[in-house]
Homo-oligomer: A and B are copies of this chain.
């Protein structure tokens, strides 16, 4: 069950995070565009709508949303962080050809390892890389 825009707004209110116009727009964008966008992609798109928007605000907003647990930051490579509104358990597959990131279902609770018996695990990331079906069919 995915969280709706209204649920997330409520979540922000509970945490006393101001519902500014810019923040709500970023949140809305992430819900409507679940392709794991970069800061630059979010900024470029929203800037067309809100001409005064700054990239700093996009950075600030994403940091707030990540800290609040509403958004997940993904670091696979390429020195750029990508953002995901879906904070549920899942893996990420990054295509080397088109750079797109696909989600895949994975039960991270089942990933338990003897070597980590004395570790406190707060986050589990499973990132695969390769070629996605779309790019495979194009190269044929």
B121 to A128, Cβ gap below 8 A?
yes
Smallest beta-carbon distance A127→chain B, Å: 4
Copies of this chain in its oligomeric complex: 2
The answer to whether A105 and B96 touch (CB under 8 A), given A121-B128, A126-B126, A127-B125, is: no
Chain B residues positioned under 8 Å from A130 (CB to CB) = 119-123
Q: How many residues of A contact B (CB 8 A)?
A: 37
B104 to A128, Cβ gap below 8 A?
no
User: In the complex the two chains form, what is the Cα distance from A58 to B127 in whole Å?
Assistant: 26
User: In the complex the two chains form, what is the Cα distance from A122 to B76 in whole Å?
Assistant: 14
Which A residues have a C-beta under 8 Å from some C-beta of B?
A: 73, 75-79, 81, 91, 93, 96, 102-106, 111, 113-116, 118-133, 136
